Amino acid sequence: MKPIIGIVSRPMKNETNRDVLATYKKASDAIIRFGGIPIMIIPPITTNYDEELSINNKQELEYVLNRCDGILLQGGDNFYKYDEFIAKYAYNHNIPTLGICLGMQLMSFIFNGKMGHVKNHLSDEKYVHQNNIIKNTKLYNILNIENINVNSRHKDYVISTDLKVNSISSDGIIEGVEASNKDFFIGVQWHPETMIDYEKNVCLIFQSFINACLKHQKSNYS
């Protein structure tokens, strides 16, 4: 059975200014392409998304998360209390987790992360800058290269975090983090989901993620 990957939805406005919960198509497409089944994780609250979760809210989320073989923390503009709960739960229960852009910032934040703003990392170009991949990290073991050229579309960045840094941009910005003690708890600041058609190295990230999800799935049925 293909692994079920829960993508944490983002509150947005559609073209008629109506409130919607959404996942980015490129993110779900990447999951499908590399062998997963994407589902949307909807926050169990209906008004203020940043409100504290009740016990019932947490139990409802746990019910959904326990049925996921992996979690994708996609990009976006803001993360909320329910995002924090999901990321912490995934970490504590060793559910393979891939964080992209805002998702990587969220992962860093819940581990004493400090955030800042950056102006020169916002572009629609295919390649914006080079990242240095740090040796003796899970990301390095996946890519097996010391440098990778990446795209970049973010205005916030991670100044510091208790997670292990696995990638730094050529101008000194943290571009990747991970938990060394987990099977797959990795976040990247760039957008690999939009690079898979022209950059083979980022495909390794998604394939490694799906493989970890399959391993997690098998352990649940063993």
- Which pLDDT score, from 0 to 100, does residue 155 have? 79
The rounded distance, in Å, linking the Cα atoms of 14 and 153 is 21
User: Which range, of 6-10, 89-93, 123-127, 178-182, averages the lowest pLDDT?
Assistant: 123-127
The rounded distance, in Å, linking the Cα atoms of 2 and 37 is 6
Place 127 in a pLDDT band, splitting at 50, 70 and 90.
confident
- Which pLDDT score, from 0 to 100, does residue 222 have? 61
Q: For 138, phi and psi rounded to 5 degrees? A: -65, -35
How much is the average pLDDT of 4-22?
92
The rounded distance, in Å, linking the Cα atoms of 59 and 46 is 16
| Extents of the domains making up the chain | 4-221
Q: Which residue has the higher pLDDT, 151 or 73?
A: 73
Place 212 in a pLDDT band, splitting at 50, 70 and 90.
very high
The rounded distance, in Å, linking the Cα atoms of 193 and 25 is 9
H helices present in the chain, as ranges: 25-33, 55-65, 81-92, 102-109, 138-143, 200-221
* Orientation of helix 81-92 relative to helix 102-109, angle to 10°: 70
The rounded distance, in Å, linking the Cα atoms of 6 and 38 is 6
The rounded distance, in Å, linking the Cα atoms of 73 and 184 is 13
- Which pLDDT score, from 0 to 100, does residue 120 have? 65
How much is the average pLDDT of 7-13?
92
Q: Could you please state the CATH topology (level 3) that the domain comprising 4-221 is classified under.
A: Rossmann fold (3.40.50)
- The CA-based diameter of the chain, rounded to the nearest angstrom, is 49
Residues 6 or more apart from 55 whose CB is under 8 A from it? none
Q: Give Cα 115 distance to the centre of its chain.
A: 17
